[in-house]
Structure formats: C-alpha cells, structure tokens
C-alpha cells in the first residue's frame, strides 16, 4: 500500500505527515542531523513511500540532500504548486502539521506526475553555499553601517572593528567564489555565457549559477520564473480584478540579486529596454516594469544557459 509523506520545513524543526489509506500519522523532528536520522527511523515503519517537500531554500536543502543520499523517493515541489493545490481545497491550514498534511495529500494525488529530485552536483552545492554566505555577510555589514551612523563615541571603535572584519571576509568570500568558478570548466563556461548578457556581471552570474543550479531540470522559462517567485499572480474576487503582483514564492535571494541588474539592463540592454518601453506605453507603473524586467532578464539567462549559445540581441528582438 502506497504511503504519501508530506514535510513542512521551518528553521529549527520540520513537521511530517504520513498519509496511508486515508489516515494520517504525524511527528515533529528537529531540523538537525540528529533529526534527519530520527526521520529515517520513523519512515522505516512505512512501505512504498514517496516524500514531498516544498522548495524552501536553505532551510530544506540539507534534509533534501540527506534523503536523496539515502535513496528515499523524494520530490521537491515549487511552493506555487502547493499554494495552487491549497486554493483548490478552498483553504490552507494555518498550523505546521496542517501544512504537512496538505503536502501529503498533494503528494498522494500527484505522485504519478512528480519528478524525483536529484541533488545539485557538489560544485553547484559549494557555489550555492558561498553565494548565501556572501549575502549574509553583506547583510551584517549593512547592519553595522546603520549602527555606526547613529552610534555614541564609546561604541564606535567596536563597530569600526567589526565592520573592518566583515569587509575583509566579504572580499575573501568573493575571491573564493571567483576561484571556484575559474577552476571548474563547466561553471566557467556557464558564467561566460551569462556575461554575454548586458546587465549581468560577476556577482549576478555567480548568484544565478549557485541558486539555479543546472537549468536542464526546468522544462521552460516559465518554470524558472515560478521557481524564483517571479511569476505574476492576479488578485481576483467575484467581478473585481485587482493588480497583478509577484507570487513571491520560491527563493527570495534570487529576486534580490536580480533587482539591480534588471534596472541596469533596462538602460543598457536593447532587448529589455524595448520590452520596458512597451510596458510603459501600456500604462504600467515603474515598480511593475522593474519586476517584469527582472523576469525578462531571468528568461534571457535561462535561454543562453539552456541553448549553450551567447546572447544575441537581434534574435531576441525578433521574437
């Protein structure tokens, strides 16, 4: 008898629901290596199982890799798909165990159409870890700069010392990212493809390579946009139709690293500039155009990586 397993991930714990013959069993585990081992022991009590979890970025990556290494059938699903399924059920539970049950139901109904998850290659996992570490350091640096701007004289030396340490660590991690890509022929080739796109530089290319991984796992550009939370979501109620907004599911860091490059591309990339001008002529506001530019830039990045050919503005403008 088939068993559908739903996992809802949080920073310090994860809730698990097992659905079998219409009945649930639930349990909570710490989001630690010890919790992962305990989960394997708990799963041993079920046969013919299929595990589903949402793509939640850093919180769920370690567990997903652990399960894949243990040959546990696993699907890592875009949160937008789970949200759409929840909407079809009219409401989504507001408890963690309720979310795990919802994911288990989704897994039970969709398991024949779900792809088994493959962990990123070691070179991609290392790059992703470096990219996330760099982002954390930059956030800490900004917090220290904000404190320094209003600090009393008594604490300024401490803040300045921490800021100097962070600046050194930021440069060290940036150099580590450069060496990691330079020393890997596959990553180096993909980086060079991304650099052919006006608006994408060293920092953005490294982030895209680390956070997207192998784009072959996506069937089309729309899937990449959904994975990144850049798919438009239209708010409607009865006869009322609201503004289109971003779904904001998926990896928030991807959206963060694309924002400034999209603004640069708006000015310096002929394809995106023409695209944005059309949106402006249709009455879109600046924020909506910027979000659309982020999505367009991501589509172009996906295209060059998938095709293995550098960016060609004439081909892109002709489409």
Q: Give the model confidence (pLDDT) of 27-60 as tens digits.
A: 999 999 999 999 999 999 898 999 999 987 678 8
Q: With 50 as the cut, is the pLDDT of residue 194 above it? A: yes
What per-residue confidence (pLDDT) applies to 219?
85
Q: What is the pLDDT of residue 252?
A: 84
Provide the 8-state DSSP code for 94: S
Provide the residue ranges of all domains of the chain, joining segments of one domain with +. 3-113, 122-183, 212-235+245-318
The residues, any chain, with a CB within 8 Å of residue 32's CB and separated by 6 or more, are: none
Give per-residue pLDDT as tens, 277-300.
999 999 999 999 999 999 999 999
Residue 75 phi/psi, 5° resolution? -120, 130
Measured in Å, how far apart are the chain's first and last C-alpha atoms? 50
Contact 297, 197 (CB under 8 A): yes
Confidence of residue 241 (pLDDT cuts 50, 70, 90): very low
Average pLDDT, integer, range 231-241:
46
What percentage of the chain exceeds 90 in pLDDT?
70
Distance set, CA 104 to CA 26, 51, 93 (Å): 11, 8, 13
Sign, CA torsion 296/116/85/248: negative
Full-model pTM: 0.81
Q: Residue 93 pLDDT more than 60?
A: no
Q: List all residues 6 or more positions away from 20 whose beta carbon is below 8 Å from its beta carbon.
A: 1, 2, 3, 4, 46
pLDDT higher than threshold 90 for residue 247: no
Q: Using the predicted structure, report yes or no on whether residue 318 has a pLDDT greater than 60.
A: no
Predicted pLDDT at 239: 38
**Can you tell me the distance from the alpha carbon of 210 to that of 267, in angstroms, rounded to the nearest whole number?**
26
The position carrying tokens 């800490």 is 140
Return the closest-CA partner of residue 188 out of 173, 177, 172: 177
Residue that wins the pLDDT comparison between 181 and 89:
181
**Encoded tokens for 133:** 């570490």
**Topology (CATH) of 3-113:** Nucleotidyltransferase; domain 5 (3.30.420)
Top-confidence residue, 240 or 133: 133
Nearest to 304 by CA among 279, 274, 273, 271: 271
List % helix, strand, coil for the chain (3-state, nearest 5).
60, 15, 25
């Amino acid at each position: 008898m088939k068993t559908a397993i739903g996992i809802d991930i949080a920073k310090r714990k994860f809730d698990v629901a097992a659905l079998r013959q219409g009945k649930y069993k639930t349990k909570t585990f710490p989001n630690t290596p010890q919790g992962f081992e305990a989960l394997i022991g708990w799963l041993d009590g079920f046969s013919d199982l299929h595990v589903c979890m949402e793509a939640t970025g850093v919180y769920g990556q370690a567990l997903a890799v652990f399960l894949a290494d243990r040959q546990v059938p696993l699907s890592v699903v875009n949160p937008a798909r789970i949200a759409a399924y929840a909407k079809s059920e009219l409401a989504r539970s507001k408890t963690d165990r309720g979310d795990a049950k919802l994911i288990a139901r989704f897994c039970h109904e969709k398991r024949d159409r779900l792809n088994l998850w493959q962990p990123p290659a070691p070179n991609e996992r290392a790059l992703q870890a470096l990219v996330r570490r760099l982002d954390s350091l930059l956030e800490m640096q900004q917090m220290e700069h904000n404190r320094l701007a209003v600090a009393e004289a008594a604490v300024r030396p401490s803040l300045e010392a921490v800021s100097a340490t962070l600046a050194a660590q930021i440069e060290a991690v940036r150099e580590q990212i450069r060496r990691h890509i330079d020393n890997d022929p596959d990553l180096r080739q993909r980086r060079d493809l991304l650099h052919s796109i006006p608006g994408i530089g060293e920092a953005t290319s490294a982030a895209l390579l680390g956070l997207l991984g192998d784009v072959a796992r996506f069937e089309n550009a729309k899937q990449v946009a959904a994975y990144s939370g850049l798919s438009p979501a239209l708010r409607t109620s009865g006869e009322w139709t609201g503004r289109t907004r971003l779904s904001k599911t998926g990896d928030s860091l991807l959206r963060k690293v694309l924002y400034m490059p999209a603004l640069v591309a708006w000015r310096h990339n002929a394809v995106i500039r023409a695209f944005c001008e059309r949106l402006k002529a249709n009455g879109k506001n600046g924020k909506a155009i910027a979000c659309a530019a982020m999505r367009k830039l991501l589509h172009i990045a996906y295209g060059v990586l998938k095709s293995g050919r550098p960016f060609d503005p004439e081909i892109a403008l002709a489409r």
